[in-house]
Structure 1
Amino acid sequence: MASHDLHPDVPPKDASTVILVRDSASGPEVFLLRRVGGMAFAGGMTVFPGGGVDPQDAEADVAWTGPPVSWWAERFGVDEAKAKALVCAAVRETFEECGVLLAGPTAETVVADTTGYADARRRLEARELSFSEFLASENLVLRADLLRPWANWITPVGEHRRYDTRFFVAAAPTGQVADGATSEAEEVAWQTPEQAVADWSQGRTMLLPPTWTQLRSIDQFDSVADVLAAQPEIPAILPTLYEEDGSLRVRFPGQEPYYAAGMHPWAER
C-alpha cells in the first residue's frame, strides 16, 4: 500500500469490546464472531463483540450496580462522562451482537434468558430504541460489577477508520446463550484462546493484532475466576504502520510471534 493511501488526519472514535469467557474442560473459552465480509471496518475478521460508543451511551440514565463511574474513569484514564459511556456501550454492544445481557431485575441477579427481548435487541441494533429506554422499560439494572477493565488499543494513524477501544472481560451469565443473530456476524463460536490462535496460524481465520494479543493474554489463565481476579495495567497502545518489502505492516508490543506465523493484515482496505 502506497503512503498516499494513508489517512493521517482521522481522529479515533471511542469504542468498547467485551471478551466473554466461560469455563470448559480445556480451560477458559472465549466467544468470537467473524464479521461479515465487506464491512467498512474489519470485514471478514474474527473479533470479540463490541462497537462504537453512541452519544446516547454518555447520556444514558440507567440503574447501575457495581464500581462507581469514578472507579472506571480512574482505571481507563478518562473523565467520568466517557467512562460511563464506555461501560454502557460495552453492555449494549454485547447484547446487540450476541444476545448476552449483563443486567438483571435486581442488583444481585442477572437475566437468565434473553430470548424474550429479541424485538428490543433488533430495535437497539437499528437505533430505534436507546439502551436506557430498554433497561427502564424492562426494570433492569446494569451490572457493571460483572465487567472488568482489560486493555486499551488505538487504531494506527493512517487508517481511514480509527477507534480508541477499551477492552473488558466478563463471565458469560449462567443460562444465557451467546448467538450470532446479528447483521454483523457470519459465524460465531466458543473456543479456547489456543484453538483460536491455531485457527489463525493455519489460515482459517484472520485476527487483528489487538484480538490476537488479548487471546494470548487470556490463555495465561486456568479459569474464569482467575481471569476476573486479574488486575492488568492498561496502557494506551497505539501501533504504528510502516512499509517493509512493499508490504504494509503494523508495529506493536510483542509482535514477533504474530509475524513469525505469517503476514496478516491490520484491516481490509
Structure 2
Amino acid sequence: MVQDNAQRPPHADDDSGVPAATVVIFRRTQAGPPELLMVQRSSQMRFAGGAAVFPGGKVDPGDRILAAQLCRGEDPVIGAARIAAIRETLEETGLAIAVREPVSAQQAADARAMLIAQGLLAPVLDAFGWTLEPDRLTLYAHWRAPVERGFDTQFFVLDLGTGAVDIAVDATENTKLFWISAARALELADAGEISVIFPTRRNLERLAQFATFDDALADIAHHPVRRIMPAQVQRDGETWLQIPHGHGYPVLGQPFATAKRG
C-alpha cells in the first residue's frame, strides 16, 4: 500500500494514533427521517478544511481528568472520548448535551463563552451547577486514519428528541452549522454542494438506513464496535480506499482518486 506521505501505514491494532471523538446528534422531525447536526469546517483548517463533518475533536488532558471522576469503571479511553465529544459540541455549536438539568439558551451561550475562555469543561459544570451524564452518548463506531499519528476517533450517537434547538457557529474552526438528514447530506455531496471526507461519507451512508434513533441503537447492538482502518486495495486495476466487512456499513469504499481524506 502506498500512502500520500510515503510513510509505512500503521497496523489496525496500532495505538499510536491521536485520540479524538465525534458525536452524531439526532433530532426528530414531525415527518420523515431524523436530522443530524453537521458543521462545515473553515477552509483554513489543516484537517478536513472546508468539509462538512459531525461535531468533535481531539481528546484533551482535561477530558481525561474529568472522565476519571465521572466515568468510573469504564475504559478510560472511551470515557475521555465521551467528555471530549460533549466539550467539543458545546465549543463548536453552543449546544449543551448530556446535561441532567434543563439548560436555557442563555445559559448555554454563557457556558460556551466560559469554555472557550478557559479551555476546560470541569469549571463550566461547577459554575452552572450542571450534572453531566456521559453515558447518554452511545458508542457507535471507532475509526483510525491509516497514517502515522492519524486520528483515532470514537464515534458516538445521541438523541436530542424534538423541539427548537439553539446553535451558533463558532466562526473560528467552523463557518456553518446545519441540521440535515443523512440521505439529503449525501445528495448535496453528490451534487458538489458540500464536501465530505471518506469516514463521514461512509457514516452518512450507514446513518441513512435508520428511520429513527432506536433503529440506530438496534444496528449498533448487532455490530459490536471494533476499530476500522481504511486500506488501499486493487479492484479491476484501479486503486480503491476500502474498509472491512462486518461493521454495519452498506458501502465499503470508493476509488482512491475520489476519496477525500482530510
TM-score between both structures, scaled by the size of structure 1: 0.79
How do 1:64-75 residues align onto structure 2 when only pairs under 5 Å count?
64=70, 69-70=72-73, 73=74
Residue 160 of structure 2 corresponds to 172
Which letter does structure 1 place at the counterpart of 2:132?
Answer: L
Q: Does residue 203 of structure 1 match 2:209? A: no
Indicate yes or no: 2:132 matched with 1:142: yes
Aligned mates of 2:214, 2:136 — CA distance in 1: 12
Q: How does 1:1-269 map to 2 (within 5 A)?
A: 5-8=5-8, 11-24=16-29, 25-60=31-66, 64=70, 69-70=72-73, 73=74, 80-104=75-99, 107=100, 109-111=101-103, 113-126=104-117, 128-157=118-147, 162-172=150-160, 174-230=163-219, 231=221, 232-241=223-232, 250-253=241-244, 259=254, 263-267=258-262
Listed one character per residue, the Cα deviations across residues 28-52 of structure 1 (whole Å, up to 9, x for unaligned) are 1111111000211111111000000
Q: What is the rounded CA distance, in whole Å, between the counterparts of 1:133 and 1:229 in structure 2?
A: 36
Give the distance between the partners of 1:40 and 1:218, measured in 2 at CA.
Answer: 26
The alpha-carbon deviation at position 152 of structure 1 amounts to: 0.4
- Deviations 1:88-121, CA, capped at 9 Å, x for gaps: 11111111111111243xx4x442x243343441
Instruction: Give the distance between the partners of 1:115 and 1:248, measured in 2 at CA.
Output: 51
Paired residues of 1:157 and 1:241 also in contact (CA < 8 A) = no
Instruction: Give the conservation status (yes or no) of the 8 Å contact 2:205–2:250.
Output: no
**SS of equivalent to 2:20:** strand
Cα contact 1:63–1:142 (8 A) shared by 2: no
Deviation, 1:69, is 4.1
Q: Shift of residue 190 of structure 1? A: 0.9
Displacement after TM superposition at 1:200 (Å): 0.8
Alpha-carbon separation, structure 2, partners of 1:39 and 1:238: 23
Q: Structure 1 residues 227 and 123 mapped into 2: Cα distance closer, same or farther (>3 Å)?
A: same
- CA–CA distance in 2 between the matches of 1:9 and 1:23? 40
After superposition, the Cα gap between the structure-2 partners of 1:176 and 1:256, relative to the gap in structure 1 and judged at 3 Å, is closer
CA distance in structure 2 between the aligned counterparts of 1:243 and 1:56, rounded to whole angstroms = 43
- Residues 7-16 or 202-211, more deviating: 7-16
Deviates more, 1:10-19 or 1:86-95: 10-19
> Once the two structures are aligned, what percentage of the paired residues are identical?
28
User: Which structure 2 segments of 5+ residues have no match?
Assistant: 11-15
Give yes or no for contact 1:35–1:43 (8 Å, CA) kept in 2.
yes
Q: CA 1:4–1:220 in structure 2 vs 1: closer, same or farther (change >3 Å)? A: closer
Q: Distance in 1 between matches of 2:9 and 2:116?
A: 29
| Separation (CA, whole Å) in 1 of partners of 2:3 and 2:153 | 25
Letter in structure 1 aligned against 2:133: R
For 2:139 and 2:3, the matched residues in 1 are separated by 35
Query: Given that residues 206 and 264 in structure 1 are in contact (C-alpha distance below 8 angstroms), is that contact kept between their aligned partners in structure 2?
Result: no
Q: Judge which range, 247-256 or 26-35, deviates more.
A: 247-256
| TM-score, scaled to structure 2 | 0.81
Where structure 1 has 5 or more consecutive residues not aligned to the other structure, the ranges are 74-79
Alpha-carbon deviations, 1:227-255, whole Å to 9, x = none?
345424211001124799xx985332469
Which deviates further from its counterpart, 35-44 or 220-229?
Answer: 220-229
Does the 8 Å CA contact 1:61/1:132 hold for their aligned counterparts? no
Q: Distance in 1 between matches of 2:4 and 2:229?
A: 21
Counterpart AA for 2:44: G
